[in-house]
Amino acid sequence: MAESRLDRELSTRTRTERKRSWAPPDLLPTPKPEEGYTFHWVRVSTRGEADPMNVSAKLREGWEPVKAADHPEIFVATVEDERFKDNVIIGGLMLCKAPVDFVEDRNAYYNEQAEAQIKSVDNNFMRENDPRMPLFAERKTKVTFGKGS
């Protein structure tokens, strides 16, 4: 007795794939990558209140606002702030870009700052160390190989 089966050529992976489940969209879309640039979202407003101090600090730091015409893949429903009507702004955050070299230099600067702070805290902590009652005792183990007794 022959079973009625589908030919192997008719059975494909696409037919047996599970239905893709729904997932909420990203809050902030990812722009199409540009050679030599890094993207960053800069706060323009919080709870409807403009934040000019933050925007001006980021612009002085070297971030450039991205024009909406340069990234048509990012859908902007409304203009939230008239001052930045040509830029990409979503939820009080404006899309900015900066050269990759600039971002690497900036990150190196802040890493040096963090390391200096950690060293300072460690030095301050160890200054109060007393050999009679150490705050921090370095634990060392030693493994030796030799003849048994």
Point out the residues of the chain with pLDDT beneath 70: 1-2, 6, 8-17, 75-82, 133-139, 148-149
Dump pLDDT digits (tens) for 77-102: 555 566 777 888 888 888 899 999 99
| Domain segments of the chain as ranges | 31-99
| Residues 45, 79: Cα–Cα separation, whole Å | 13
Is the torsion defined by CA of 24, 28, 34, 40 positive or negative? negative
| Residues 111, 117: Cα–Cα separation, whole Å | 10
pTM recorded for the entire structure: 0.56
